Amino acid sequence: MIGRILGVLAMILCLILVYFLVWPVPIEPVAWSAPPDPGYTGKFERNERLKDLEFLPLGGLHGPEAIALDREGRIYATTHEGFIVRLKADGTSPEKWVDTKGRPLGVRFDSAGNLIVADGVRGLLSISPNAEVIVLATSADGVPLGFTDDVDVAADGKIYFSDASTKFKPSECGGTMEASLLDIMEHGGRGRLLVYDPSTRKATALLTGLNFANGVAVSHDQTYVLVNETESYRVIRYWIAGPKKGTSEPLIENLPGFPDNISRGLDGRFWVAIISPRNKLVDSLCDKPFLRKVIQRMPKWARPKAAAYGHIVAVDGNGQVIASLQDPNTRYPQNTSVTETKDYLYIGSLVAPEIARLPKAAAGLQ
């Protein structure tokens, strides 16, 4: 009897071992070398400069990935539920302005007052002031958009946007977070920086092979575009004018966390939202593709997760850090974007049920 029980246990252990070694998973991990984690020291030394946040409720919705303000000062936020919520200029009276029937992520107004939307499910959209939704692009260079993520509009009307991953699509992976975690574990260079030209109504690729192409921002002088390469902890500059046109280089590297969106601020600043600190396990497995597959076979609760930590960073056009605002107490976790006005920083989040607003004077920015 004991021998039979031991035999059954041995068989079960064998099946478990086989499962962890050979069970198919959706990722094909690529070995890479992660830069040393600088941690929260030096220019990223821990602080509480985000402690004076104000909160603007979204009327029962959550996940305000990105925020934009129109000419009247009204506030628009994309939400996890697929709605774009509009609030009055004072931050009150949230209303469900438009349902994109997808997952709207990055947003930016063009010169005609249309809200340009990077929708992770539906592609690149334009929403008119009277709430009419038009699909601008669902592919670029013949390749379908897999995970349209962030967007910015240049002075000449061209729309620069990111396709975070052509392989892991939110519509097929259970959502944007699930798709991004798969892409992080694979690190297969599936991201693209794209441009949509309204005159031709076509989208084309400027950069490919990016490891989760995320936030996008056109420079103040309109000579380059910045794109966050989330999985590589850096921001890439792509030149669209001048002698370096068509070339790229890092603007800033080795950030202490995963950069999400980036936006053009005031006084020459660019704001980078750090959604989560770096994960020691993820970094230690960067050159171990087989073990990353093993981890992917584990239950979801046992896999690496984004840690809750509030953090936004301002850099200049030379990649120098000029402000690092943090909230170790995570009153507003998983920061995804920053929109700067004369008086406030509006901060987005992947999970929060409200928009955070920080008076710039309280943060020492005025």
Q: Are 58 and 79 in contact (CB under 8 A)?
A: yes
- Can you read off the two tokens belonging to residue 205? 């690729």
Which amino acid is residue 16, in one-letter code?
Answer: I
Provide the pLDDT confidence category of residue 14 given band limits of 50, 70 and 90: low
* Helix, strand, coil % over all residues of the chain, rounded to 5: 15, 40, 45
Which residues lie below 8 Å from residue 126, measured CB to CB, with a gap of 6+? 110, 114, 115, 116, 117, 133, 134, 136
CATH 3.30.460.80 fits 2-359, yes or no: no
Enumerate residues 6+ apart whose C-beta is below 8 A from 300: none
Take residue 217 and report the two structure tokens written for it: 């921002």
Q: Give the pTM.
A: 0.95
> Tens of pLDDT along 281-330?
999 999 999 999 999 999 988 888 888 999 999 999 999 999 999 999 88
Residue 17 has pLDDT above 60, yes or no: no
Q: At what angle do helices 176-186 and 289-296 cross, to 10 degrees?
A: 150
* Residues in contact with 233: Cβ distance below 8 Å, sequence separation at least 6, in sequence order: 34, 35, 253, 254, 255, 256, 257, 258, 259, 278
The pLDDT score that the predictor gives to residue 12 is 63
Q: Kindly tell me if the per-residue pLDDT of 274 is higher than 70.
A: yes
Tell me the mean pLDDT in the region 100-105.
97
Q: Which two tokens stand for residue 286?
A: 């960067």
What proportion of the chain, given as a percentage, has pLDDT over 90? 87
- Per-residue pLDDT band at 363 (split at 50, 70, 90): confident
Question: What rounded mean pLDDT belongs to the chain?
Answer: 94
Burial class (CB in 10 A: 0-12, 13-18, 19+), 173: buried
DSSP string, 184-211: HHH----EEEEEEETTTTEEEEEEEEES
pLDDT tens by residue, 178-222: 999 999 999 999 999 999 999 999 999 999 999 999 999 999 999
Assess whether pLDDT exceeds 70 at residue 15.
Answer: no
CA distance 137 to 194: 11
Give residue 365's pLDDT: 83
Give the residue among 236, 251, 172 at the shortest CA–CA distance from 206: 236
Cα separation of the two ends of the chain: 78
Burial status of residue 318 (CB atoms within 10 A of its CB: 0-12, 13-18, 19 or more): exposed
